[in-house]
């Protein structure tokens, strides 16, 4: 048993914060689900065509698929948008009639050109079906960005480098009346899941909260196309759980042998 305890201590020490992979400060970064809450209708942004857009103007048309991130991001922001657009395409959904795709930059320094560049890049990569008004790529001022982000429970912070951000990834499904219907976790969903979520939002249904595994934008390494810290943290957690499970089995067998 002494050897077993020493082995457990060694694993826990190896997985301690002092030995963890260096990563940005994620204090306060979270996606707090606020199903049933409303988007702030008076928040104003500017779209990729240079037009002012009040959030309330997007209501009363079709369900909104809302994605927050930033357009010059080299990590998961672009991947998230493309995954959602492709899922909607495979589900046979058309932007403008079935849903409105809204991408909002959380970087107040980003301009109309950044929004247009992201839209053009996404269109070239995903070729989504829909009308021009079905795709809204928006940039805005800090106060309007914060107000919208807080309304949907999207909590983020500045990254280690200038004009970078640490933030959760996922999408918010909003009813045509501007009420949060549900959330899509991670970097998108299967076509059937997205179709069901959009149809539920169209029917103005509010879903129960889900428990997604939180992924943060810095978890993805764009150079290798792989997750870095995300994989490490899950592997470490799995190793600790497995170790204690094995320890419990050994201890139980040891007790049985002692009583025999």
pLDDT of amino acid 45: 97
Q: How far lies 13's CA from each of 6, 9, 203, in Å?
A: 10, 6, 52
Instruction: Please report the pLDDT score of residue 198 as a whole number.
Output: 93
Instruction: Give yes or no for residue 13 having a pLDDT over 50.
Output: no
Alpha-carbon torsion 223, 227, 231, 233, what sign? positive
238 has pLDDT over 70: no
Strand partners, 139: 46
DSSP for 73-94? Answer: -SSSHHHHHHHHHHHHHHTT--
What is the mean pLDDT of the segment spanning 235-250?
63
Is pLDDT at 185 greater than 90 in this prediction?
no
Cα atoms in the 13 Å half-sphere on the side-chain side of 179: 12
pLDDT for 222 equals: 43
pLDDT of residue 15: 47
Q: Report the pLDDT value the prediction gives residue 3, as an integer from 0 to 100.
A: 44
pLDDT top residue among 229 and 72: 72
pLDDT at 256 over 50: yes
The residue behind tokens 């657009």 is 85
Could you tell me if residue 220 is left (phi over 0), alpha (psi between -120 and 50 degrees) or otherwise beta? Answer: beta
pLDDT for res 235: 47
Instruction: Provide mean pLDDT across the span 186-210.
Output: 81
For the chain, give the mean pLDDT: 79
Give the helix/strand (H/E) hosting 119. helix 112-126
The structural domains of the chain, with segments of one domain joined by +, span 2-21+228-259, 30-220
Dihedral sign for Cα 248, 250, 254, 257, please.
Answer: positive
Q: State the distance between the two ends of the chain, measured CA to CA, in whole angstroms.
A: 18
- Residue 257 is predicted with a pLDDT of 64
CATH classification for the domain delimited by 30-220, as one of 3.40.30.10, 3.30.565.10, 3.40.50.2300, 3.20.20.140: 3.40.30.10
Condensed to tens digits (0 to 9), the pLDDT of residues 142-163 reads 999 999 999 999 988 877 777 7
Per-residue pLDDT tens digits for 27-81 = 778 788 899 999 999 999 999 999 999 999 999 889 999 999 999 987 788 888 9
Q: Tell me how far apart the alpha carbons of residues 23 and 104 are, in angstroms, rounded to a whole number.
A: 25
Q: Which residues pair with 30 in a beta bridge?
A: 155
Q: What is the pLDDT of residues 77-95, one digit of tens each?
A: 888 899 899 999 999 999 9
């Amino acid at each position: 048993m002494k050897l077993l305890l020493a082995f457990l201590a060694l694993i826990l020490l190896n997985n301690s914060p002092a030995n963890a992979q260096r990563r940005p400060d994620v204090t306060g970064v979270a996606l707090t689900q606020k199903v049933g809450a409303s988007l702030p209708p008076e928040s104003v942004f500017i779209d990729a065509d240079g037009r002012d857009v009040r959030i309330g103007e997007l209501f009363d048309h079709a369900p909104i698929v809302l994605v927050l991130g930033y357009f010059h991001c080299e990590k998961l922001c672009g991947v998230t948008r493309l995954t959602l657009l492709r899922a909607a395409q495979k589900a046979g959904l058309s932007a403008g009639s079935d849903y409105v795709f809204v991408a909002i930059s959380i970087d107040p320094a980003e301009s109309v050109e950044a929004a247009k560049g992201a839209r053009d890049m996404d269109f070239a990569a995903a070729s989504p079906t829909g009308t021009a008004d079905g795709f809204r790529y928006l940039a805005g001022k800090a106060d309007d960005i914060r107000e919208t982000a807080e309304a949907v429970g999207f909590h983020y912070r500045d990254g280690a480098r200038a004009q970078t951000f640490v933030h959760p990834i996922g999408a918010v499904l909003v009813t045509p009346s501007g009420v949060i219907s549900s959330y899509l976790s991670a970097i998108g969903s299967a076509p059937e899941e997205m179709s069901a979520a959009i149809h539920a939002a169209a029917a103005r249904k509010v879903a129960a909260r889900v428990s997604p595994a939180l992924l943060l934008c810095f978890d993805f390494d764009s150079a290798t196309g792989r997750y870095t810290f995300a994989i490490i943290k899950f592997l470490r957690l799995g190793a600790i759980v497995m170790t204690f499970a094995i320890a419990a089995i050994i201890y139980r067998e040891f007790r049985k042998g002692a009583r025999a």
